[in-house]
Structure 1
Amino acid sequence: MKKCVKCSQKAVVHLPHHRLALCKEHYVEWFENRVEKTIRSFRMFSEEDRVLVAVSGGKDSLGVWHALWKLGYIADGLHINLGIGDYSELSERKTRAFAERIGRELHVISLREHIADIPTLKDLQDRPACSVCGTLKRYYMNHTAKKLGYSVVITGHNLDDECAVLMGNVLSWNLDYMARQYPVLEEGKGFVRKVKPLCLITEKESALYAFLSNIDFVEDECPYALGASSIDYKLVMASIEEKSPGTKLRFYSEFIRKVRPMLVAKQDVKLNACRVCGEPTTGDVCSVCRLKMKLQAQKVS
């Protein structure tokens, strides 16, 4: 029986790539300290910033909100109801219950009220539902944060998410996307700062924290995520990680340290203000306003 490296209690968590065995109390402490260290090492935000956590109802977003609350940060939540039937209704209920548990304000946006639900928009586009959904969430996170006076938006992207994105971009050598992959996306040109405090924490570590902290989260994947290439990339990385612990962390960390600086030096993206809503875009009209125009044209016809 392994014992916690910090006390004589029985270890309940084993982290081979960190060479750690920890009891419940010390694992929760380790997780929260790692979140704090990540925030400080990447200079994500300070105690003076007004921060808004994008919470889906899943383990990662609720977990990071919980950790920030425990660490003493003043962080409110933003939940975007995607209108995906029972899945979205359950997600909103659990998010509201969690906000009440920690006594923080939760802002809720319904896509159906602002534009249309994801099932409707999915049929309007040739792109996968995840692509449309991601575009809308990024738009409303940024728009809402600016409107409500928050300086930082926090997302629950974990190390597995970051590795899956990086692997997909490496396989297609999408250098523009690779240049933009970083734990901190700075404010400016119409954007608030966007940060990922869980970027060095694996999905398993995040799930363990949520479980050991008694967080009631949505366990099911989004119905539209089935078949997504990111899931395949995660499975590949998990297989490698099992044989060589620490591979995920090395893959992502060494990219950030060695490769991305060379890509950023060559990047020069010109942004404009959307002539309809004023949000930043590379074109004349942003993708969300174009979606609204398509919906309007469909209603007229």
Structure 2
Amino acid sequence: MTTHENVQRMVLGDVEVLRIVEWQGAFRPARELLPTAPAEVWRENEEWLAPDHWEPATDRTVMALQTWVLRSAGRTVLVDTGIGDGRERPGAPEYHHWQGDFLGRLERAGVRPEDVDVVVNTHLHADHVGWNTRAAEGGAGAGAGTGAGGRGGAGAEDAWVPAFPRAQYLLPAADDAYYGPDNAYGGGRSEDDRLLYEDSVAPVHRAGQMVLWDGVHRIDEHLTLESAPGHTPGSAVLRLASGGDRAVFVGDLLHSPVQILDPAHNSCFCLDPRQAERSRRRILERAADERELVVPAHFGGSGVAEVRREGAGGLALSVRR
């Protein structure tokens, strides 16, 4: 893997993979992010968890905001799109009115918005769909409301438009149903659920660029989406198989390598902890058996890990630096 200006590059079979890191640093305290992971697990593994995944001095996890760009079968595919600039996220102080340089980083890596053919949202959380859209020229932009009902109400058309004008957007149907207006934006769990749907999802529907899928969805001969629910109702993984190389982009199935050591540990963001654990075990065990490189959405360091079987059904890992 080669690195240049927050961009890392690797080649898997016939697929080029670029990692675009928007931000990396200390996030939430370890026991807040993974409530069931005891303090001794972090201390006993400090030698390799620090500094890429944990800060021992502050007991805070280290996370990355990043997008994976896959050049596959003649097309450019983005996996998740970060937070988005200028968004109203009052329930998430880390993301509220965020300002970054996401599109600039993409362009410096040779990816212009009009070059993107497919956008994959592994699930519908604020830090995975934000740059689905950008503020419309002359529109209301950040902080604009989109009304209620349908796919956004009066004034929505003036605020946000798809950031990638030629792209097909792939979103799990179960997440769209759960977080969309027909379910009152996540059943009224939080105002942020409504806001993120209205500024980052509804405009893509209105533009006719959204494709909802369920179960399994094949993108091309190398890339396949598969449901892995639990973190959200529609959480998905993206499998890459090209030549002899294998990888699985697991979204938020994992937030920390500690969850590979014991897949029973769910993050505080998992909506259905039991289902999330089942999905995590299934995907990790398959990765070990099929020698798939595991690529989570938020790992620091190199951003990837290798998993193998150990003992009586246990899992061990090697985190690349």
Bigger proportion of residues as strand: 2
TM above 0.5, yes or no, is no
Give the alignment's TM-score, normalised by structure 2.
Answer: 0.28
Higher-RCO chain (CA-CA 8 Å, sequence separation at least 6): 1
Higher alpha-carbon Rg: 1
Bigger proportion of residues as helix: 1
